[in-house]
Structure 1
């Protein structure tokens, strides 16, 4: 069946159908049509080439740097937790052994004092000699048994579940994930907060609260001082720091005990942070 060109002013027979616009065109208008489309294709080529160059210039190390930094910090914190746990268990083991040794040391000292006293006063009896001899023999047997003491240490493997660290790729920054937990805040409370690897310190209704990852209150203490400007955590001192407009306070994590730090002069403080394991910076 004969078809004419879809250009309204043309009666020539159709030669080809454009794959872009799906129009059936004669040879003359197809050449013209193709000529008009080529600049658009050239523009698209430039755009895709620009995107490709941009893609090629992407540095994955830069993209992952913040995430890798968090993982490295978590690893260092985990090492510290393990080292601290190990030190506590070593201290506990030394405590038990020292208690045993201290007992025998006391028994030895007591017998030495008794013998020295008898020698000094130059007065004793066969009964006393026999009793001392028996006590020394008993003590000798106990001392001989020390090296056979069995120290039982039951150690369970350290299990790290995969869900301990959750990796999620966020491509749409306009969408936020569903809140894991929420906590009601009072408007008059300070907006400052600080955290270590376990707890979050916040100010709420004239009190300091230490809360865990589930937003459960671990401990609390009254705050009787000026409005809090900022707070931060110190790894090396294992405590929080809080600054008000003129003063600096140290917060003990186990009790939330507040201790004011004396300064030589009054300044106007705005913010604070702890750098690494050494310094406290305030401004």
Structure 2
């Protein structure tokens, strides 16, 4: 005997088993069920066609443009690194050869003076003849050695690792603030240390014990130079100079990572400076008199290109931090008039505001510092409250946390090591 149709209130007998829903249905309800399922194919087919249109409309050259820019920038940086090392070694070769020749020239001059004195006195002894003969012999050998091989240059082939460039799917930047509980490494700081750091792809520059120190990827101090120029207000890396820029209140200095030497930039006049930041071809400076201005200097010429104003009204606004990244400038603004701290992202070309974010902190006059992350995201730290803010590329708050100590400065080192300056130490967090 057949079973009744599974549809409620249907009195007809079932005619078939629907394998989709595993129900016994009569002919009419089975046809309705079948038609309903088939009708869903049309909108699904439309969605497939839409996806096909989207994938067909993708312009590979346009989509790969930014990635190619990254590769081109990497290539330019590598070429510049090679050129800089080449010129440095050419200078070392010149100095070595000049020193070697000058040394022998000095010996020849001294010998000629000695010979003139002997000839003038006409009291030459056998010992004098023996001494002069021996000196001539030694000089002849030294000069012959120079003539045959003035210097030896030993080079090591440049080893390129395929892992230097990784290509793959973009991974969403996770919230890194959850990884800041325990540092992977710390470096102690003396009480007289100035609160600023900078980094390039090789070294971290810090001030400690009255010295500028370079720290490598193993957290080892590899080079130092005595610092005798007073309070350091900011540091940044300049690819145009291939040097670190060190900012004081009245002067600007270059720190050469290869020679660990310090030199002053004389072309930029004293300006009551407060903060600094560098892009590929520009140096940006702000002043400590709350005039809402950013001064852009072209590099490497260091001539003033333009003065940019962040605030058109009469509010007193101090620019505490300047961070450049991929054609944008992130500014940490301290508006003294309305007592508010704001983060602004601006276009480097037009200086127009891309987005603005007001920090939810107890107002204070202490400096706010910023650093860039991957995928055009940012970290902002407020010293007074020890809070760190993670902002997205669109200026939205992704996360926030309160650090265990006062945070003076923050920077990303080697793309995966977050470096935080605190009271008495520098903390390194792998992210």
Which TM class, normalised by the smaller chain length? Answer: 0.5 to 0.7
Q: CA deviation at 1:133?
A: 8.5
Residue 199 of structure 2 is matched in structure 1 by 195
- Mark the CA change 1:57 to 1:259 in structure 2 (over 3 Å): closer, same or farther: same
Instruction: Give structure 2 stretches of 5+ with no counterpart.
Output: 286-293, 295-431
Q: Which has the larger radius of gyration?
A: 1
Residues 7-40 of structure 1, C-alpha deviations (whole Å, 9 max, x = no match): 2314233246253x34443332233223333443
Q: How do 1:244-259 residues align onto structure 2 when only pairs under 5 Å count?
A: 249-253=252-256
Number of corresponding residues: 274
Answer 1 or 2: higher relative contact order, Cα 8 Å, separation at least 6.
2
After superposition, give the CA deviation of every residue in 1:170-196 in whole Å (9 maximum; x if it has no partner).
44445669789566999xx99975422
SS in 1 for 2:79: helix
- Counterpart position of 1:275: 280
Shift in Å, 1:148: 3.4
Give, in whole Å, the separation in 2 of the partners of 1:12 and 1:268.
91
Deviation at 1:122, TM superposition (A): 9.1
Structure 2 length normalisation: TM-score? 0.47
Alpha-carbon distance in structure 1 between the residues aligned to 2:188 and 2:103: 56
Do the aligned partners of 1:247 and 1:269 also contact (CA within 8 Å) in 2?
A: no
1:1-283 to structure 2, matched below 5 A, reads 2-8=2-8, 9-15=10-16, 17=18, 19=20, 21-113=21-113, 134=133, 138=137, 141-142=140-141, 143-144=143-144, 146-149=146-149, 152-167=152-167, 169-174=169-174, 181=184, 194-201=198-205, 210-216=214-220, 225=231, 228=233, 231-241=235-245, 249-253=252-256, 272-276=277-281, 279-282=282-285, 283=294
Write the distance in 2 (CA, Å) between the matches of 1:223 and 1:243: 10
CA distance in 2, matches of 1:174, 1:3: 57
Once the two structures are TM-superposed, the CA of residue 145 in structure 1 deviates from its matched residue by 5.2
* Distance in 2 between residues matched to 1:249 and 1:163, nearest whole Å: 37
CA contact (8 A) 2:213 2:221 kept: yes
Partner Cα distance (1:222, 1:102) in 2: 34
Shift of 1:86: 3.3
- Describe the SS at the equivalent of 2:244: strand
Shift of 1:207: 9.6
Where 1:240 maps in the other structure, the secondary structure is strand
Q: Deviations over 1:128-159 (max 9, x none)?
A: 99679847963784345543348554433333
Do the aligned residues in 2 keep the contact of 1:208 with 1:223 (CA within 8 Å)? no
TM-score w.r.t. the length of structure 1 is 0.65
> What is the rounded CA distance, in whole Å, between the counterparts of 1:264 and 1:156 in structure 2?
43
Q: Is the 1:231–1:273 Cα contact (8 Å) retained in structure 2?
A: no
* Distance verdict in 2 for CA 1:269–1:63, change over 3 Å: farther
Secondary structure of residue in 1 paired with 2:279: strand
RMSD of aligned Cα (Å):
5.0
Greater shift after overlay, 107-116 or 49-58? 107-116
Instruction: State how far apart, in whole Å, the 1-side matches of 2:111 and 2:229 are.
Output: 57
Contact 1:208–1:256 under 8 Å retained in 2: no
Q: Deviations over 1:30-87 (max 9, x none)?
A: 3322333344322222223223322333345555444443333333323333333333
User: Which ranges of structure 1 fall in alignment gaps of 5 or more residues?
Assistant: none
Using the TM superposition, give the Cα deviation of residue 124 of structure 1 relative to its aligned residue in structure 2, in angstroms: 7.1
Q: Is the 2:97–2:151 Cα contact (8 Å) retained in structure 1?
A: no
Change (3 A) 1:164 1:182: farther
State the alpha-carbon separation in 1 of the partners of residues 31 and 100 from structure 2. 103
